[in-house]
Amino acid sequence: MDIAKNGQITGQTRQPIFLGVFKMKKALALALVMTGFAVNAQAADWVPPKVPDPIPDNLTWYGITPIGALDLGYAYQTNGRPLGSVVSGLEFSPFTTTRNYTGQAISTIAHSGLQQSFLGVKVEEPLGLGWAAIARADTGIDPLQGTLSNGCVSFLQNAGITYNLQNSNADSGRCGQAFNGQLWGGISNKQYGTLTIGRQNSFELDNIAKYDPMELSYAFSLLGYSGTDGGMGSTQAARWDNSAKYVYDFGIVHAGAMYSSGGSNTGFFGNSYGFDVGAVYQGFSIDAIYTKEHGAVNLQSAVNDPVGATTLAANISDNTAWSVMAKYTWNLGSGWAAPAPFYTKAAKAEPQHDKFTLFAGYTNLSQSNPNEPVLFGGAAGGYTLTSTAVLPDNNAFTTDKVLQFFWAGAKYELAWGLSFTGAYYHVNQNSYVADGAACIAGGASKTDCSGAYDEVSFLTDYALNKHLDVYAGAMWAQVTNGLASGYPGTPGAKFGFAGTNTSVNTATFMTGFRIKI
């Protein structure tokens, strides 16, 4: 996006915004068409199959409950890269630092299409007088290799290798830590609120999980696969180490505050804070979030590291973000109760209603050079950052880089377990100055030129019982101009492959199953 010195938005800025709104309306129309299929399925009065559920409803022991998900399937991608020995999943979205889209069609077993496969426990134990002790510990896993999720080491594995020879790799805050998801404990009281301390999701990540129509799906959601929004511009900052979070509910209104002291190996080096305020009334829900992060880590692409590197090249930024998200749910029909054993204990359950939900959200992310430069330290998981005269790079945002995320979608849920979801995601990037060098030629000549991202996705999911669902979906995404720079066929590419000089796109089709406890 181009902004004049007087703060006025130029014509070059208006055009991609208006285009994004137009495309958003088209995507919503397609989502509404899908609801027609759902209504027809209900009208046919089809009786769903009875699928026994051998997993008990309650696995809690002294307040401790195991939690987890195993998500496996098969995927086809029109433009991608082979699976890596560390990151064995597909790079679902081209909105990434890796530029690993080289015209190759990939057909493969895949994992974590709907959500990150993980293992963990949660704790809720009454203490008396309305107080309860609460905790959570979870870690993301790679179910195809039986290892912990580790994005950082995938960069080292591909260090110095040109894009056309790399395998899958991705920046991530999940970098092989024993608990690369969340690890926190605290106390809760309905009258006084909830206080938790440890490694926790940012308010932004918590809320996009609620307001993303695809529920942070890796295969079908930009917000799920890319940690850029959840980390306020920096993937490694989506989860805050050394943090305290307080949330208070007052009737229909809720509010919260969050603080982290940061530090080396945590995703950002400086103090950071965030605030959330929102409301829930009948079927309507809304949240507004403001976040400030100091000294956030942004890993550079693996091609910027020398072959055999044991350290990671990174840019450092101060991030400022604000967002507004909302959804509205209608309960439809007269209600329906599944016959046992469709759900365990379903015969005693209250009738469920069909639901139709609309989602929308907007996030504005701004990255600037850090007020306090970082000369050495570590990324998430304890990986050492490359330290030279120019690295870590504290001048990568000579003028602010601004990303604007827009999304909207619709979901129709039949009471007996079948759901249809359609979503649209759009991102605008302004033209900013990196390391003192501005975008001059325009288009895809540099990564700091203005650019855009568009994604449309559709998903059908069927809950066979409370702990097992099967799904199938499709996603199409495209990056243009500055956001496409460095991809095959663009001026910034380091090798020659067929493609346009201003855009790159890919489509993914995936089907699979998910087991949840």
Q: Summarize pLDDT for 401-422 with one digit per residue, the tens.
A: 999 999 999 999 999 899 999 9
Q: Is the pLDDT of residue 499 over 90?
A: no
Rounded Cα distance between 444 and 404, Å, is 19
Interval 291-326: pLDDT, tens? 999 999 999 988 788 888 999 999 999 999 999 999
Instruction: List, in sequence order, every residue forming a beta bridge with 354; answer none if it has no partner.
Output: 332
| Residue 74 phi, psi dihedral angles, 5° rounding | -130, 135
**491-498, long-range: CB within 8 Å, 24+ apart, which pairs?**
491/441, 491/443, 491/444, 491/445, 492/444, 492/445, 492/446, 492/447, 493/99, 493/163, 494/162, 494/163, 494/303, 495/162, 495/163, 495/164, 497/102, 497/103, 497/164, 498/103
For 81-144, where are the E strands, in sequence order? 104-111, 118-128, 131-142
The pLDDT assigned to 86 comes to: 53
**Cα–Cα separations (whole angstroms), residue 59 to 260, 343, 345, 468:** 33, 16, 15, 16
Q: Where are the domains of the chain?
A: 11-516
SS3 state at 35 = helix
Interval 427-439: pLDDT, tens? 999 999 999 999 9
Q: Which residues contact 134 (CB under 8 A, 6 or more apart)?
A: 122, 123, 124, 125, 185, 186, 187, 188, 194, 196
Q: Which residues contact 16 (CB under 8 A, 6 or more apart)?
A: 1, 428, 450, 452
Average pLDDT of 22-28? 45
Q: Is the pLDDT of residue 55 over 90?
A: no
The pLDDT assigned to 113 comes to: 96
Interval 148-173: pLDDT, tens? 999 898 889 888 887 777 778 888 99
Contact of 226 with 235, CB cutoff 8 Å? yes
Interval 72-89: pLDDT, tens? 999 999 988 777 655 567
pTM of the prediction? 0.88
The pLDDT assigned to 15 comes to: 43
Q: Which DSSP category does 500 fall into?
A: -
Rounded Cα distance between 426 and 409, Å, is 12
The pLDDT assigned to 56 comes to: 83
**Cα–Cα separations (whole angstroms), residue 438 to 4, 336, 495:** 15, 60, 23
Q: Which residues contact 218 (CB under 8 A, 6 or more apart)?
A: 89, 92, 112, 113, 114, 115, 116, 224, 225
The pLDDT assigned to 506 comes to: 92
DSSP code per residue over 89-104 = S----S-SSS----SE
Number of Cβ within a 10 Å radius of residue 35: 15
Rounded Cα distance between 103 and 329, Å, is 41
Interval 439-494: pLDDT, tens? 998 888 888 999 999 999 999 999 999 999 999 999 999 999 999 888 776 765 65
Average pLDDT of 22-31? 45
The pLDDT assigned to 53 comes to: 84
| Residue 124 phi, psi dihedral angles, 5° rounding | -150, 105
Interval 370-394: pLDDT, tens? 999 999 999 999 999 999 999 999 9
CA 23, 24, 29: angle at the middle one, nearest 5?
A: 95
Interval 97-135: pLDDT, tens? 777 777 788 898 999 999 999 999 999 999 999 999 999
The pLDDT assigned to 241 comes to: 97
| Architecture of the domain spanning 11-516 | Beta Barrel (2.40)
Rounded Cα distance between 30 and 16, Å, is 21
Average pLDDT of 48-64? 82
